[in-house]
C-alpha cells in the first residue's frame, strides 16, 4: 500500500468491471423500459465500506498494510450475500460490480438475498498459510459490524476457500461469544458447511451444459470442452463435464495452459494441483500459450478464472458454439454482439455460476435450523433450481427475441425493481 494513499480515491472506482456492469445494466434497463427513478437507485451500491489494516509477515521483517472492502448493493430483498476475493488488483469499483452481479444472480434463481461482495487487495499466492490467516482475521475484525447471519453473509471467491471461511466463522464467533455457523457459507462440513458446496458452482454450471447443447444441436457425449481457470469453479466444472462424457481438451490456470486432443485426465490434473498448487509441470498434455486457449477447436468453452478475458479480438477467434460463463464478468460488452452474431450460445455468469450461491443459501438455511440435508437432496434441489431458471430465461429470450444475458438480467432486474416499488421510499 505504501505511497498509494494520495490518488487512491480516484483510482478506487476506476474499474473496467464496474463500467462493464453499469453499461450492461443501462442497456438492459433501457430495453425493458425500467423506471429511471429505480434505475438510478440500482446503478450504485447502497453501502460500501473500505478499510485499511496491517498484518505481520512470518519472518517479523515487516508489517504490511493492505486495503479491504465490503460492498452491499441492495438491501431490499433480505440479508445480502456474496463472496470474498483476495487478488492483487481488487478495488472498490470491482467489488461494487461483483456485488451488483450478485443481486441479479440471486434474483434470477429466486433466492431471498441482495448482492454483496468483499475483497482484499493482496496476492494470495505470495502468502503463507499463517499470513493468510492473520490477514483474514484482521479483515473480518475491521468489517465485523457490517456483516452478520441476518445482515450480510460472506462466502468464498477467488483466492479464498473453505479454510478461509473457517477462520472467518471462528473470528466472528470469538467476538460474539458463541458459535455462529450461519455467518459464512462455504465452510468445512465439520463447522456446519453443506455437503456439495465445494463443487456447487462448477457442478451447477455443467448441469446447464446438456440444456444448452440441446438448443445448439450439440451431442453431449464426446463434446470437446475447454476450461480457463483450474480453481474451485474451473476444476469442478472440468470434472463434471468429463463425468457427463465430454472430452476436456484444454485447461489452464495463471501459470500455464494444457492441450490434449484425446482428452485431459481431469482427476489426474486435480490431484497434481492439490499437491503442487498450480498446473505448471503437469504432464497430461502439451503446453500451449494461454492466449491460444479459446482459439482451440472445440464445442464448449468455460471461462472460469477472471473477468474481461473475452474481448472482441478473442470473440472473433472462438470456434465453440456454446460458452458457459463460470467466472464473473468474463465477457466485455463489445464482445457480446460478436458472439451473438456468430451464433455462439452464451449462458451468462448471472445464471451459469449461480449454483455456488444456491448451495450457499442451502448451507445458511441448514445452519439457521441446525438440521442438515443429504448430498442427494442438495444436488437434486440445485439441479431443479438451475434447470428452472434456465428454462425461464430461455423463454424470456424467445419471447423478447434477445440473447440469454439480456433475458436473464431482465428477469433479475424486474424482480428487484418490483420489490423496491412495493416497499416504497422511506420516509
Ligand atoms: P480460485 O481462486 O479458486 O481459482 C481461480 C483460478 O483462476 C486459479 O486456477 C488461477 O490460477 C486461475 N487464473 C487466475 N488468473 C488467470 C489467468 N489470467 N489465466 C488463466 N487462469 C487464471 O477462484 P474461483 O473460486 O474458482 O473463482 C473463479 C471465478 O469464478 C471468479 O471470477 C469468481 O468470481 C467466479 N465465481 C466463483 C464462485 C465460487 O463459488 N467460488 C461462484 C461464482 C462465481
Atom number, ligand 1, closest to the C-alpha of residue 85: 34
Residue 382 has a CB neighbour count (10 Å cut-off) of: 24
Output Rg (C-alpha) for the chain, integer angstroms.
Answer: 21
Confidence of residue 12 (pLDDT cuts 50, 70, 90): confident
Query: Would you state the pLDDT for residue 283?
Result: 97
Which residue minimizes the CA distance to atom 15 of ligand 1? 254
Query: Would you state the pLDDT for residue 3?
Result: 52
Mutation pick for ligand 1 pocket among 108, 234, 276, 314 (CB with most ligand atoms within 8 Å)? 234
How far is C-alpha 11 from the geometric centre of its chain's CA atoms?
A: 23
Query: Would you state the pLDDT for residue 14?
Result: 83
How far is C-alpha 9 from the geometric centre of its chain's CA atoms?
A: 26
Q: Indicate if the pLDDT at residue 5 is higher than 60.
A: no
Which residue minimizes the CA distance to atom 27 of ligand 1? 158
Q: What are the pLDDT digits (tens) for 193-219?
A: 999 999 999 999 999 999 999 999 999
Segment 306-314 shows an average pLDDT of: 96
Mutation pick for ligand 1 pocket among 253, 287, 289, 358 (CB with most ligand atoms within 8 Å)? 253
Query: Would you state the pLDDT for residue 243?
Result: 97
**Which residue in 117, 132, 187, 411 is the catalytic one?**
117
Query: Would you state the pLDDT for residue 187?
Result: 97
Segment 130-137 shows an average pLDDT of: 98
Residues pairing with 49 in the sheet: 70
d(CA 389, CA 248): 26
The overall average pLDDT reported for the chain is 96
Largest CA distance in the chain: 64
| Ligand 1 center to 85 CA (angstroms) | 10
DSSP letters of 286-320? EEE-GGGGGGSS-SEEEE-S-TT-B-HHHHHH---
| Ligand 1 center to 37 CA (angstroms) | 35
Given a contact cutoff of 8 angstroms between Cβ atoms, the answer to whether 344 and 335 are in contact is no
DSSP letters of 225-236? EEEE--SHHHHH
Q: Indicate if the pLDDT at residue 294 is higher than 80.
A: yes
Which residue minimizes the CA distance to atom 19 of ligand 1? 254
Against a cut of 0.85, is the pTM above it? yes
Which residue minimizes the CA distance to atom 28 of ligand 1? 305
Q: What are the pLDDT digits (tens) for 218-245?
A: 999 999 999 999 999 999 999 999 999 9
Q: What are the pLDDT digits (tens) for 143-183?
A: 999 999 999 999 999 999 999 999 999 999 999 999 999 99
Query: Would you state the pLDDT for residue 184?
Result: 98
Burial of 55 (0-12, 13-18, 19+ CB in 10 A): buried
Q: List all residues whose CB is within 6 A of at least one atom of ligand 1.
A: 156-159, 201, 228-234, 252-254, 290, 304-306, 326-328, 353, 356
Structural domains in the chain, CATH included, are 2-26+34-179 (3.40.50.10860), 201-351 (3.40.50.720)
Q: Indicate if the pLDDT at residue 352 is higher than 60.
A: yes
Q: Is 187 a known active-site residue?
A: no
Q: What are the pLDDT digits (tens) for 45-83?
A: 999 999 999 999 999 899 999 999 999 999 999 999 999
| Ligand 1 center to 231 CA (angstroms) | 5
Portion of the chain with pLDDT greater than 90, in percent: 96
Which residue minimizes the CA distance to atom 33 of ligand 1? 327
d(CA 389, CA 197): 19
Amino acid at each position: 500500500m505504501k505511497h498509494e494513499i494520495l490518488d487512491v480515491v480516484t483510482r478506487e472506482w476506476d474499474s473496467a468491471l464496474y463500467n462493464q456492469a453499469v453499461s450492461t445494466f443501462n442497456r438492459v434497463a433501457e430495453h425493458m423500459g425500467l423506471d429511471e427513478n429505480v434505475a438510478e437507485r440500482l446503478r450504485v451500491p447502497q453501502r460500501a465500506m473500505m478499510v485499511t489494516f496491517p498484518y505481520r509477515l512470518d519472518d517479523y521483517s515487516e508489517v504490511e498494510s493492505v486495503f479491504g472492502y465490503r460492498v452491499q448493493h441492495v438491501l431490499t430483498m433480505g440479508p445480502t450475500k456474496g463472496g470474498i476475493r483476495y487478488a492483487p488488483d481488487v478495488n472498490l469499483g470491482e467489488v461494487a460490480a461483483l456485488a451488483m452481479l450478485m443481486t441479479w444472480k440471486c434474483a434470477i434463481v429466486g433466492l431471498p438475498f441482495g448482492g454483496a461482495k468483499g475483497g482484499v487487495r493482496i496476492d494470495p499466492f505470495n502468502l503463507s498459510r499463517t499470513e493468510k490467516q492473520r490477514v483474514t482475521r484482521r479483515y473480518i475484525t475491521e468489517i465485523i459490524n457490517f456483516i452478520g447471519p441476518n445482515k450480510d453473509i460472506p462466502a468464498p471467491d477467488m483466492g479464498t476457500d473453505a479454510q478461509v471461511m473457517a477462520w472467518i466463522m471462528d473470528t466472528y464467533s470469538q467476538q460474539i461469544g458463541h458459535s455462529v455457523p450461519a455467518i459464512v457459507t462455504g465452510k468445512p462440513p465439520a463447522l456446519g458447511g453443506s455437503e456439495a458446496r465445494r463443487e456447487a458452482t462448477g457442478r451447477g454450471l455443467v448441469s446447464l451444459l446438456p440444456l444448452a447443447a440441446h438448443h445448439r444441436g450439440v451431442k453431449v457425449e464426446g463434446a470437446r470442452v475447454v476450461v480457463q481457470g483450474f480453481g474451485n469453479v474451473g476444476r469442478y466444472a472440468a470434472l463434471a463435464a468429463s463425468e457427463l462424457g465430454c472430452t476436456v481438451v484444454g485447461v489452464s490456470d495463471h501459470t500455464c495452459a494444457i492441450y490434449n486432443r484425446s482428452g485431459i485426465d481431469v482427476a489426474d490434473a486435480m490431484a497434481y494441483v492439490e499437491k503442487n498448487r498450480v498446473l505448471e509441470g503437469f504432464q497430461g498434455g502439451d503446453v500451449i500459450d494461454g492466449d491460444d486457449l479459446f482459439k482451440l477447436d472445440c464445442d464448449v468453452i468455460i471461462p472460469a478464472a477472471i473477468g474481461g478475458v473475452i474481448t472482441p479480438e478473442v470473440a472473433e477467434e472462438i470456434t465453440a458454439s456454446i460458452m458457459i460463463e463460470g467466472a464473473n464478468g468474463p465477457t466485455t460488452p463489445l464482445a457480446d454482439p460478436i458472439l451473438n452474431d456468430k451464433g455462439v450460445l452464451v449462458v451468462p455468469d448471472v445464471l451459469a455460476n449461480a449454483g455456488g450461491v444456491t448451495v450457499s443459501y442451502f448451507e445458511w438455511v441448514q445452519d439457521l435450523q441446525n438440521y442438515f440435508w443429504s448430498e442427494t437432496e442438495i444436488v437434486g434441489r440445485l439441479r431443479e433450481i438451475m434447470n428452472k431458471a434456465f428454462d425461464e430465461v430461455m423463454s424470456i429470450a424467445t419471447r423478447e427475441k434477445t440473447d440469454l444475458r439480456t433475458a436473464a438480467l431482465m428477469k433479475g432486474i424486474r424482480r428487484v425493481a418490483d420489490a423496491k416499488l412495493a416497499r416504497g421510499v422511506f420516509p
